[in-house]
């Protein structure tokens, strides 16, 4: 029987790629559910092409429009944020590939692991906020969380060269983003347009901004620590502008195993679906002779303060990462809306973390979302108060 896949966030950068990958995988993989937040035109187009059983729109303002657009199709329409949880729990779904953006994807990711499903996770923010909860629930319910984030897919692949006890450290690579060589004063006046011009990857706007601040790498440190049960002290970041080496694992004997491939999300998406098998895919092969050389350098911790924050937040535990993520999510939204400057993003995140809201102990979804809402309010208040 075909593996039945739900793609949450099918209209985004990763979601669209996932549909191409599944198409190429052939009849062994079937698309059962698709979702969008507001782009119902594209969602309806995808539904006509891939014939899922369910389509969901999380922003209910677009529910009527979606119903009209898919009126002639044999598909069930679900609406509202809860619809993603419903899809994750559905007995008709084997693999949940979550490619929605932000904290909004957390309830559906949790529902998938609680049902013991394979969770192919691109949506990194839930792992940042609730990595402990997600990995614990996955273990308890026999679910497997497979990374789609390219660095984590690389680590996951490299880890197969030895056993967990033999790992000395993880080395996460980073492209460095559009401002890799910038000084603090250079980045004061960068524009939204410059920020959205990523040198290597073509991604959604939120993660593109996170790459420019290197907040994305801070999140990936936390993501890796939960996915691979590794203290953050054993996770390093190395800037590698060519983005060919997607990450590395160093073993206790000094051997370093890396995963290399052209920078294209097709491969990590596909591996999360076909694991433990490898199959021929649509990704291009790697021609190292054409690339010629690969370079590596230390990250600039002065310009990219987000990196050090990532380590601090990971060590603090509790609800700190939920605050960290939500403050950033809100600041990035304001930056994308043209309301604040690039440099304000990190300043706002630092200020909100400085307000010390961490709660420890038995932390569930409710506490995490309470911390998330608190941090969002703080950011908006700070913007208002200082008329940024």
What is the C-alpha to C-alpha distance for residues 336 and 329, in angstroms, rounded to an integer?
A: 10
Q: 133-161 burial by CB neighbour count: b if 16+ within 10 A, else e?
A: bbbebbeeeebebbbbbbbbbbbbbbbee
Phi and psi torsions of 54, nearest 5°:
-130, 140
Residue from 122, 127, 133, 212 that binds ligand NDP (CB under 6 A)?
122
Least Cα distance to 218 among 325, 143, 291 occurs for: 325
Cβ count within 10 A of residue 284: 11
Tokens of 362: 């038995």
Note whether 329 binds ligand NDP by CB under 6 A. no
Residue from 5, 6, 44, 99 that binds ligand NDP (CB under 6 A)?
99
Helix axes 320-336, 205-213, angle to 10 degrees: 110
Please say which residue, 149 or 334, places its beta carbon nearer to Mg ion: 149
Choose one: 23-31, 122-130, 164-172, 367-375; the region binding ligand NDP (CB under 6 A). 122-130
Tokens of 46: 């995808």
Choose one: 7-15, 45-53, 227-235, 327-335; the region binding ligand NDP (CB under 6 A). 7-15
Residues 204-243 that bind ligand NDP (CB under 6 A): 204, 206-207
- The binder of 322, among ligand NDP, Mg ion, none, by C-beta within 5 to 8 A per type, is none
- The binder of 151, among Mg ion, ligand NDP, none, by C-beta within 5 to 8 A per type, is Mg ion
Contact 376, 329 (CB under 8 A): yes
Residue from 125, 137, 149, 210 that binds Mg ion (CB under 5 A)?
149
The residue sitting closest to ligand NDP, measured at its beta carbon, is: 12
- CA-to-CA dists, residue 167 to 38, 155, 159, 354, angstroms: 43, 11, 8, 34
Least Cα distance to 153 among 252, 265, 239 occurs for: 265
Residue from 4, 5, 15, 75 that binds ligand NDP (CB under 6 A)?
15
Choose one: 119-127, 139-147, 176-184, 270-278; the region binding ligand NDP (CB under 6 A). 119-127
Q: Which residues bind ligand NDP (CB under 6 A)?
A: 9-15, 36-39, 58, 99-101, 104, 122-125, 149, 201, 203-204, 206-207, 265
| Interacting residues toward Mg ion by CB under 5 A | 149-151
């Amino acid at each position: 029987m075909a593996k039945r896949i739900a793609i949450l966030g099918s209209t985004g950068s990763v979601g669209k790629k996932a549909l191409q990958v599944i198409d190429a995988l052939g009849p062994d993989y079937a698309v059962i559910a698709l979702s969008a937040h507001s782009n119902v035109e594209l969602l309806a187009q995808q539904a006509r092409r891939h014939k899922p059983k369910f389509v969901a729109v999380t922003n209910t303002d677009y529910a009527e429009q979606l119903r009209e657009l898919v009126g002639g199709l044999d598909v069930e329409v679900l609406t509202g944020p809860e619809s993603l949880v419903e899809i994750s729990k559905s007995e008709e779904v084997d693999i949940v590939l979550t490619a929605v953006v932000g904290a909004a994807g957390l309830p559906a990711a949790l529902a998938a692991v609680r049902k013991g499903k394979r969770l192919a996770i691109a949506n990194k923010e839930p792992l940042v906020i609730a990595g402990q909860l997600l990995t614990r629930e996955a273990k308890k319910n026999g679910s497997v969380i497979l990374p789609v984030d390219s660095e984590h897919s690389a680590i996951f692949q490299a880890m197969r060269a030895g056993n967990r006890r033999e790992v000395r450290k993880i080395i996460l690579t980073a492209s460095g983003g559009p401002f890799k060589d910038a000084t603090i004063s250079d980045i004061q006046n960068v524009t939204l347009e410059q920020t959205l011009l990523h040198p290597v990857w073509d991604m959604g706007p939120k993660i593109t901004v996170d790459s420019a601040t290197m907040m994305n790498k801070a999140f990936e440190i936390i993501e890796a620590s939960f996915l691979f049960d590794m203290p953050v002290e054993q996770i390093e970041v190395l800037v590698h502008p060519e983005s060919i080496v997607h990450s590395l694992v160093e073993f206790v004997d000094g051997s370093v195993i890396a995963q290399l491939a052209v920078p294209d999300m097709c491969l990590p998406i596909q591996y999360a679906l076909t694991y433990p098998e490898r199959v021929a895919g649509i990704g291009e092969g790697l021609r190292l002779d054409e690339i010629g050389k690969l370079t590596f350098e230390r990250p600039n911790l002065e310009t990219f303060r987000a990196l050090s924050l990532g380590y601090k937040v990971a060590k603090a535990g509790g609800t700190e990462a939920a605050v960290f993520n939500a403050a950033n999510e809100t600041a990035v939204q304001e930056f994308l809306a043209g309301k604040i400057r690039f440099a304000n993003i990190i300043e706002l995140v630092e200020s909100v973390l400085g307000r010390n809201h961490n709660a420890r102990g038995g932390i569930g979804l409710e506490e995490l979302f309470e911390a998330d809402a608190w941090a969002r309010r703080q950011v908006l208040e700070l913007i208002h108060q200082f008329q940024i």
